[in-house]
Amino acid sequence: MLTHAQVWSAIDRLAARAGLSASGLAKRAGLDPTTFNKSKRMTAEGRARWPSTESIAKALSATGTSMDVFVKLIDAAEARATKAVPLLGFAEAGNGGYFDDGGFPVGEGWDEIAFPAVTDQHAYALEISGQSMQPAYRDGDVIVVSPSAPIRRGDRVVVRTRSGEVMAKELKRRTPKAIELRSLNAEHEDGIIAGDDVVWIARILWVSQ
């Protein structure tokens, strides 16, 4: 018997295949961004709610996915191939309460995105907003970040400073006293941040395109 949870999980996996959050999938499909949110999966009385056939059809069309593939996503074996990764809007990442001093995700307010083959238990996802990181990252793209992964010159990274600023850059050079960063947008200058001003730095593993 088909269950509500199976269908909603298939929608989450459909979004993950496209490199999107549930809200990102809804937006790409031309739907209200909250259509597939967890809050829409239950009624006010606490009863499970089905997604509409229209919303599923639009999501399939927007991602170029056939119904046969969607049915396979419902299969429990597919569910075991994905991992729930904490998701936060990039613009919110500078606010307090979302990260500890090591750059690991903590606290309330995180959403989730299903993502395949994530081995780092501390990995998390950030959804890009705005145009400041084009052409590397566009509005609505999702990046998966690992605070545990080793970082080398040339890696794309997320950096948080003591002032609360969070930025995505390319690591040019790292010394005990400072880090040199290359902007992902040619219209923005490269920068140097004193080592004492860096709270944490984490490597970007993957980005939806």
**pLDDT tens-place string over residues 19-45:** 888 898 999 999 999 999 888 888 877
d(CA 105, CA 86): 8
pLDDT tens string, the chain, 209 residues long: the values are 678 888 888 898 888 888 888 898 999 999 999 999 888 888 877 788 899 999 999 999 999 999 988 888 887 545 555 677 889 899 899 888 899 888 999 888 898 877 765 667 788 999 998 888 888 888 888 898 999 888 999 999 999 999 999 999 999 999 989 999 999 988 888 999 999 999 999 999 888 75
d(CA 72, CA 66): 10
Per-residue model confidence (pLDDT) at position 209: 56
DSSP assigned state of 27: H
Domain ranges of the chain: 4-80, 84-207
Task: Please name the fold of domain 84-207.
Answer: Umud Fragment, subunit A (2.10.109)
Per-residue model confidence (pLDDT) at position 77: 44
CATH match for 4-80 among 1.10.1740.10, 1.10.260.40, 3.40.190.10, 3.90.1150.10 = 1.10.260.40
Per-residue model confidence (pLDDT) at position 116: 62
**pLDDT tens-place string over residues 83-96:** 778 898 998 998 88
Rounded to the nearest 5°, which phi and psi values hold at 22? -60, -40
> Letter for the amino acid at 178?
A
d(CA 21, CA 27): 10
> Which runs of E-coded beta strand occur in 78-155?
82-89, 111-116, 124-127, 142-146
Give the C-alpha distances (Å, rounded to integers) separating 163 from 118, 202, 208. Answer: 30, 17, 29
Per-residue model confidence (pLDDT) at position 117: 59
